[in-house]
Chain A
């Protein structure tokens, strides 16, 4: 495996379910991110982990819970979601947590989430 791998690719869940999204990066990067992408809207930053510590929680509802057990793995735990949470959830990694060195992000393929 190379790059950033996300599983599952597609997920349909009911509002009372609990599920988890998984992200793994094979690039040796030291920062990982969760973004939400909804139709016609900019990517919304949800969480930032730098060196395994959460350093940003961008006013995300508590029904989304991130976990970063090590620098290569990132999870997003989901529970009691709402239909408006249906979106593409993207994981990204970077070797430049400060974001000013010009390296940018490597994104995973995303998880298309549908809440019914």
Chain B
């Protein structure tokens, strides 16, 4: 059974701080990895994808991948109250597997 594990949180950070969200996965053969953001009452939206070891930056977001450790993370710099949401880690392949998500609160 392929699994994706995330700390459910909530993770609370002050406005302007760096929020760090982490994820581990069980299938060592996984090739692609995704972060989705889900606001309360809304559907998930894709914010980042990564498939090479190292860092990938997109604006205030940085995804980090370490395949040897089977670890994916998402850093949000200069966190804003509008970043408050649940962040879902997903491991791709023909059947994308999702983690249960980490709730992030950014305090103004």
Chain A residues close to B by CB (< 8 Å): 35, 40-43, 45, 48, 55-56, 58, 90, 97-110
Contact = CB atoms under 8 A, between A and B. Distances in A.
B95 A58 contact: yes
Nearest to B101: A42
B8 A108 contact: no
Describe B's contact surface by its main secondary structure: loop
A100 B95 contact: no
B71 to A, nearest CB: 18
Interface of B: 4, 8, 31-32, 34, 36, 42-46, 49-51, 88, 90, 92-101
B45 A107 contact: yes
A106 B47 CA distance: 11
B100 A40 contact: yes
A99 B43 contact: no
Given A104-B46, A107-B45, A99 B8 contact: no
A99 B94 CA distance: 5
9 contacts: A42-B4, A56-B95, A98-B93, A98-B94, A99-B95, A102-B51, A103-B49, A104-B46, A107-B43
